Structure 1
């Protein structure tokens, strides 16, 4: 009897839950899925930022022009981009390390200092290379035609940009290797067209800069009468000690008629587009795709399609960028705007599995409860079968008064349990049939009692 009562209580709770399955099962499952989806969306697979900061260069330099083109391209993809002016590559690298910029242009050779220590201070976030986007020349312009070596800059007035500029950083590194101390040179902080004009006025002896061949200051100085592009000797020895440099030939008339007047050997270095550590992978992929848009054409020092690439990078390459540079964007990012593609990816990665899970649970749990209810009704049918067996198959003489009382108690318990039940409509016919069978068995029991 106790087991029957306990089983009946559980059965009634199951029936109540099944009868209110929308409120007690499906709505809680839906709420749980919404919470899980929100947590996954914000914590496991958050949307990429809608704003990037790009650290470029000086106003009349190639880096600032590149940064402006990147910002325009990001805008076409639905992202806001802010460009920061910069005196040069050292500052750009520091901004990445401190998280003040997301992307920055940095000239080759900035990964390590001459003594072999990392450029970034310990504890700062590492950076990754999105792509090598340009080839820059090391230009040394002077009014003195006899300058053939960097050592001849000793004692002269040289403009190589501000103290934190990449131009001065590189020239001082090269001079130190040739045993020319920083104090042996009369440094000027002028750069760009200001330095060019000072050289024209004979206020300077030389101007050193790292720039692309079509940079305005390079073109200006190549056209200026009395200013000569120095042909630095010993380039092979310089490259041997500074492997981030390369020797290229600037062909005659490659920049215009008489620019340069003769084939000119020139030291070059690569321009890197770097990303700060922890930048969202989707933004890295988009940045790599933008470099293909901006730098994919032919230039003086490279052929069509040669850049951008990730060969001989100073910093670890971004795996996301490598994939894009090799194969292009994939999935929704290849044929949809950037922001809608990110929404679609998250709906597929997060929403689709959770939707399938929710649909499954919303069907399986009610189905399981329905099965439990049917199984319970079937068990009562089984008990009635046993009672009918005792009453009909066995002889009446074999059924004593104690046995009749026990059977009657079982019938009363089943009758009481079924009387309190509230079953769903689809199980009501079974319930009515069960009640009819109970009444039939009770009538048989009353007949035995009357004998």
Structure 2
């Protein structure tokens, strides 16, 4: 009973060994190609990514906290870098200190930054230019002005002349925008008593009477904006020349803050307000891993696709208003259809398949013809265990035909060869070759026995 079991186990081991030896070169080639492609494509992203946001209390900082949640679910840590604002974010991208950043329209150099490998993941939202002022600060000007000008609301930048105006931090990009708008009005910053406080500190100074006006360029989600819109004694400038500014400056466009959109019950604002707005985009570097760009583009789709104060649902994110080239990941997330496997596979598996599918497909095409070599190699290895003994049998047969060697010695050699043949194990499909060898050994033995001894 032990003999047949041992013979069966030996047959299984030999068959597996032959199969591995036959398919081994093809398998090694496939594994080598996959390893080389994995190393070259680097499909798995790093575990940390840096997002440049903005000052504390700004809309950028608020959005940064929301963006950190999606990568965190995939075990990727988002490091939020607090900056002075849009221009500082762009400098961080250029210097390689950030992987992704919020950058306001008009800040980037489309030619230079495009050549430097900075691309967009899509335009995210409008950032209006908010000019908040204290009507009480204009009382002195109103008394000196003609009676028809008294209590007139601020609608032009020229009305801010001589007032204490905060124009935001240097790295925010707002001072540059204000300077360009003042120059268009035939003024410069010296016409105002300017300061450059952070948004939160400037709001406190305005409410405390230490400032007459402040200029912000931020999204309506900013806590500072919502606070000032509801603050008593603070008014919002209605830009009467919004269309004219938009014609002069391509990165600006007129928007309307609808009546009651802030608070319907309190009717805030009490009338439609014309504003100027830029479009903020999510920019990234060419060196940022494609999987990370994909994650942020998908997060943008979820965070900014709803309706807002200045736009309807699904107006953002978009690729129409991006100043820089849109990356393939951003374009696919906004305008395309995500692969179906993203709905069923975890992020790491979906990302691996997306980065490697072309290599895997090419490898399959390559292996199809190579796989045809495996069965002949397997057959050759099995039959070789039998055919290798025919050389010895032919030598014995030649001695028999030529009458060389002692009869008993040749019989001993045939007996030894027969014992070897009995020990050969081959699959049933190749048993015919083994039986043929044993029959040929027996045939040579009969011929030897039929010869008369010398």
Q: TM-score range by the shorter chain?
A: 0.7 to 0.9
Per the alignment, do residues 161 and 447 of structure 1 end up closer, same or farther by CA in structure 2, a change over 3 Å counting? same
Asked if structure 2 preserves the Cα contact closer than 8 Å seen for 1:137 and 1:268, the reply is yes
Query: How far off is 1:428 after superposition?
Result: 6.8
1:364-422 Cα deviation digits (max 9, x unpaired): 36325248749968998xx99xx99xxxxxxxxxxxxxxx75999xxx9xx9xx89999
Query: What is the CA–CA distance in structure 1 between the aligned matches of 2:107 and 2:132, rounded to whole Å?
Result: 23
Query: How far off is 1:87 after superposition?
Result: 0.6
The gaps in structure 1 that reach 5 residues or longer are: 1-16, 389-403
Per the alignment, do residues 80 and 444 of structure 1 end up closer, same or farther by CA in structure 2, a change over 3 Å counting? same
Match of 2:8 in 1: none
Match of 1:168 in 2: 175
Query: How far off is 1:140 after superposition?
Result: 1.2
Asked if structure 1 preserves the Cα contact closer than 8 Å seen for 2:385 and 2:424, the reply is no
Query: What is the CA–CA distance in structure 2 between the aligned matches of 1:119 and 1:373, rounded to whole Å?
Result: 67
Match of 1:39 in 2: 36
Query: What is the CA–CA distance in structure 2 between the aligned matches of 1:289 and 1:302, rounded to whole Å?
Result: 20
Asked if structure 2 preserves the Cα contact closer than 8 Å seen for 1:71 and 1:81, the reply is yes
Match of 2:378 in 1: 367
Asked if structure 2 preserves the Cα contact closer than 8 Å seen for 1:134 and 1:212, the reply is yes
Match of 1:259 in 2: 268
Q: Secondary structure at the match of 1:83?
A: strand
Matches within 5 A, 1:261-410: 261-343=270-352, 353=363, 357=367, 360=371, 363-364=374-375, 366-367=377-378, 369-370=380-381, 373=384
Query: What is the CA–CA distance in structure 1 between the aligned matches of 2:342 and 2:27, rounded to whole Å?
Result: 30
Q: How many residues align?
A: 409
2:217 paired with 1:220:
no
Give the one of 201, 204, 207 matched to 2:214. 207
1:301-332 Cα deviation digits (max 9, x unpaired): 11122222222211111222222223453233
1:97-123 Cα deviation digits (max 9, x unpaired): 2222221111112223xxx87468x7x
Query: What is the CA–CA distance in structure 2 between the aligned matches of 1:365 and 1:205, rounded to whole Å?
Result: 90
Query: What is the CA–CA distance in structure 1 between the aligned matches of 2:234 and 2:298, rounded to whole Å?
Result: 40
Asked if structure 2 preserves the Cα contact closer than 8 Å seen for 1:18 and 1:366, the reply is no
Match of 1:425 in 2: 426
Per the normalisation by structure 1, the TM-score is 0.74
Per the normalisation by structure 2, the TM-score is 0.74
Query: How far off is 1:260 after superposition?
Result: 1.7
Asked if structure 2 preserves the Cα contact closer than 8 Å seen for 1:78 and 1:337, the reply is no
Asked if structure 1 preserves the Cα contact closer than 8 Å seen for 2:155 and 2:240, the reply is yes
Asked if structure 2 preserves the Cα contact closer than 8 Å seen for 1:192 and 1:217, the reply is yes
Q: Secondary structure at the match of 2:170?
A: coil
Deviates more, 1:78-87 or 1:27-36: 27-36
1:122-145 Cα deviation digits (max 9, x unpaired): 7xx422221222112111122335
Query: What is the CA–CA distance in structure 2 between the aligned matches of 1:364 and 1:184, rounded to whole Å?
Result: 89
Query: How far off is 1:349 after superposition?
Result: 6.5
2:274 paired with 1:247:
no
2:81 paired with 1:84:
yes
Query: What is the CA–CA distance in structure 2 between the aligned matches of 1:263 and 1:23, rounded to whole Å?
Result: 78
Q: Secondary structure at the match of 2:68?
A: helix
1:220-275 Cα deviation digits (max 9, x unpaired): 22333333222233322211121221112222222122422222111112121122
Per the alignment, do residues 42 and 443 of structure 1 end up closer, same or farther by CA in structure 2, a change over 3 Å counting? same
Backbone CA RMSD of aligned residues? 4.4
2:57 paired with 1:60:
yes
The gaps in structure 2 that reach 5 residues or longer are: 1-13, 139-151
Per the alignment, do residues 360 and 119 of structure 1 end up closer, same or farther by CA in structure 2, a change over 3 Å counting? closer
Asked if structure 1 preserves the Cα contact closer than 8 Å seen for 2:45 and 2:289, the reply is yes
Query: How far off is 1:93 after superposition?
Result: 1.1
Give the one of 72, 77, 91 matched to 1:75. 72
Q: Secondary structure at the match of 2:171?
A: coil
Match of 1:139 in 2: 130
2:164 paired with 1:157:
yes
Query: What is the CA–CA distance in structure 2 between the aligned matches of 1:178 and 1:108, rounded to whole Å?
Result: 21
Deviates more, 1:101-110 or 1:18-27: 18-27
1:176-198 Cα deviation digits (max 9, x unpaired): 44443445543311132321222
Asked if structure 2 preserves the Cα contact closer than 8 Å seen for 1:18 and 1:369, the reply is no
